[in-house]
Amino acid sequence: MCAEFWHNLYTFITVALLGVLYYILFVPVTWKDNDANDKKSAINRARRLRKIGTKLLPPFPNGWYKLATSKEIKPGTAKHIACIGENFVVFRSTDSKKTFVLDAYCPHMGANLGVGGIVKGDCIECPFHQWKFDGESGSLVNIPYSESLSEVEKFAKIRKWTSKEVNGLVFVWYHRENEEPWEIPVIDEVDNGRFVCHGWNEFRVHSHIQDIPENGADIAHLATVHGSNILGGADINNMRNSWFSFGSHIWNAKWSSNTYFKHMATVKLTHIYKLLSFKLIEIDADIDQIGPGYVTLVLKLIFGKIIILQTLTPLEPLVQNLSHYFYAPWYLGWLAKFIMYGETINVARDVMIWNSKEFVRNPLLPKEEKPLKMFRSWYSQFYSENSKTFAQAHETLEW
């Protein structure tokens, strides 16, 4: 009887531990800050009351922007995505499995191809009267009930957007002067599936897009916003809780623009977690900022490498979607989730600052903050003559 009891207990504990292990290694975790109603209304209120700042820079700089993850666009499916002041339909071919990005609205009578559009091969059929458009060119290829295709086809073309699917993400090229796109570097481990996505977070940030990458060159904020123990939490009002002062974070960072690829900038970051005065964890990170909307972070730890992909896409002139995807080999799922926990809290602290700040066009910068000046001059390449101004971008939202 007694032996049976212990046997059952061991079995129970083993099964429970295997369950926990399975969860840690194989179940991706997600964290979203934009679905809590009370938080949403508080943010909206803050947004209305907030000082926007004078001389706002254009809200949609030129570059690649993520529209979706590869997993979100299954073969034969279409999705409507509104961002950067545009409406897109993204769909994946049933034959070639390629993804295509077109303007969402049908030139016939304006139905949205991303809402009920039917994917056929490399084409998409409108859900209203079944006009069919080619994903490769945007050309009209069929009207099922009309012979007069040649008369209308030249008017019926839909705008085809340059897009690229790489590292598990679907990007669109947005450039107001129609310049040729730059390459998005392929990260082998992610692109060939050797690394697994163990989780992702998603924030809705209410600030100018430039505020977010500027963080990488803002060395002085690291100690203030990210120095307190991570266990103190994401709320910058309470994070300095003395209960958690046994731990702290030391950051060192160096920002520089890339001499070969002018659209790229690099941050070399070192992060030390100290328990009292004992150095417990040290992480080195190589960070590449690739244009205004995409960042890759390679974290080197004693157990191995973690790769984080950060995407930033403007949803509205002062509303950004900021996401991070955490990749590691399958057996480092526990580590990727641990890193995700720390990174999510740190980003949430930044988000509290971004959500409530104004945009300052000409900040007062002492000589120690030279990287911020260098960042601003580097970033200015993404604004061009025809960039939409804040007022122009805002007009399209007033209806």
For the sheet containing 278-290, what is the strand order? 29-32, 196-205, 319-328, 304-316, 294-301, 278-290, 264-275, 247-257
Name which of 123 and 236 has its Cβ closer to Fe ion.
Answer: 236
CA distances in angstroms from 78 to 47, 115, 203, 317, 391, listed in the order given: 32, 8, 24, 25, 31
Q: Which is nearer to ligand FES, 108 or 274 (CB)?
A: 108
Binding residues with Fe ion: total (CB under 5 A): 2
- Name which of ligand FES, Fe ion, none residue 164 binds, using a CB cut-off of 5 to 8 Å depending on partner kind: none
Closest approach of ligand FES to the CB of residue 54, in Å: 43
Nearer to ligand FES, 141 or 281 (CB): 141
Task: Name the DSSP class of 394.
Answer: H
Helices and strands: H and E segment counts in the chain: 9, 19
Binding flag, residue 215, Fe ion (CB under 5 A):
yes
Residues near ligand FES (CB under 6 A): 106, 108-111, 126, 128-129, 131
Task: Output 123 or 295, the one with its CB closest to ligand FES.
Answer: 123
Residue 357 partner contact from Fe ion, ligand FES, none using kind-dependent CB cut-offs of 5 to 8 Å: none
Contacted entry of Fe ion, ligand FES, none for residue 69, CB cut-off 5 to 8 Å set by kind: none
Phi and psi at residue 222, to the nearest 5°: -60, -45
Q: Is 134 in the site for Fe ion (CB under 5 A)?
A: no
Min CB(123)–Fe ion separation in Å: 44
Residue 211 sits in the site that holds Fe ion (CB under 5 A): no
Query: Could you say which residues in the range 316-355 bind Fe ion, by CB under 5 A?
Result: 350
Nearest residue to Fe ion, scored by beta-carbon proximity: 350
Q: How far is CA 241 from CA 235, 245, 263, 280, 343, in A?
A: 11, 7, 40, 20, 19
Choose among ligand FES, Fe ion, none what residue 106 binds, the Cβ cut-off being 5 to 8 Å by kind. Answer: ligand FES
Q: Which of ligand FES, Fe ion, none does residue 215 bind to, with CB < 5 to 8 Å depending on kind? A: Fe ion
User: If we measure between CA atoms, which residue out of 356, 266, 361, 265 comes closest to residue 49?
Assistant: 356
First to last CA, the chain: 75
- Which range binds Fe ion by CB under 5 A, 200-208, 211-219, 291-299, 369-377? 211-219
Please list the alpha-helical segments (H only) found in the chain.
Answer: 2-26, 37-49, 149-156, 188-191, 211-214, 220-226, 333-356, 370-379, 390-395
Q: Cα–Cα distance between 365 and 224 in angstroms, integer?
A: 17
What's the chain's length in residues? 399
Nearer to ligand FES by Cβ, of 131 and 325: the residue is 131
Sites of contact with Fe ion (CB under 5 A): 215, 350
